[in-house]
Structures are given as C-alpha cells and as structure tokens.
Amino acid sequence: MKKPIAGIFSLALMGGFLLAESIDPPQNHINWMKSVAKANGMIKKGVDVETNAKGVAETFTKVGRFYKKRGLEVGVKTSNDAVTAANAIAKAAAASDQEGISAGMKALGGSCKGCHDVHREKISDTENKIKW
C-alpha cells in the first residue's frame, strides 16, 4: 500500500507547484516585466534608446519562450510582436529616426496591451497574477 500513497502524494505535490505558479507569476517573469518597464521609461526619456530597445527585444525573447512552454498562444504572439517592435526601435535609434522610434514605441505598447488584456490580472495596487 505504500506505493499508491506515495504516488498520490507526488501528484498532489506536483499539482501544488502548478497551482502556485497559476496564482503568482514566477520571479523570473516579474523580473522580466520590471526590466521592460525600466527600459521603456528610459526609451521614452531618450536615454540610450538603441541599447534599451535591444534589451527589451532580448527580454521578450525569454518571455515568448515562457509562454510557449505553457501553450499560451496570445503570450507567444505578443512577445514576438514586442521583439519586432523593439528591434525596429533600436534600428530607428541607430539611424536617428525619431518617427521610426515613435512608430516602434506605439507597436511595442500595443503588444504589451494585447498580452496584458488576456494574461494579466491585477490583484492589488502592487501585484498582478498571470491569467492562464
């Protein structure tokens, strides 16, 4: 009888880990979103636009893999859109193309909103969780 009990315990434990992630985003996801917010603020201020945009593209590549692993299509699509937009911002910044930067920022904001509308749930003034 020990084996069935151990198996049930293992399943319950795994379920608890999955439930915990569905309630709170993992720390790496929180860190990615904070880094994007910081870089986005710097871009808006015109500070190291090319470098910050490249950082956003790298971060959203990771975010896209996070959502792909979980089978969340909207998260994957909007992350890919964010990578494209961030790369466009970096390219425009390298060419001193202010209109290109503005267009890229608009596209980046749209990709963020698209994901947040589907996968972000505000649970307090300072906390969010991922809607699966």
What CATH number is given to the structural domain containing 123? 1.20.120.10
CB atoms within 10 A of CB 56: 28
Does a structural domain hold residue 109?
A: yes
Does a structural domain hold residue 21?
A: no
pTM beyond 0.85: the answer is: no
Are 128 and 121 in contact by the 8 Å Cβ rule? The answer is yes
Token representation of residue 78: 């909007």
Does a structural domain hold residue 60?
A: yes
In sequence order, the β-bridge partners of residue 130 are 120
Confidence band of 12 (pLDDT split at 50, 70, 90):
very low
| Cβ neighbours for 23, distance < 8 A, ≥ 6 positions apart | 129
Are 108 and 89 in contact by the 8 Å Cβ rule? The answer is yes
Q: What confidence score (pLDDT) does residue 5 get?
A: 54
Average pLDDT, the chain: 88
Task: Name the residue range of residue 58's domain.
Answer: 26-130
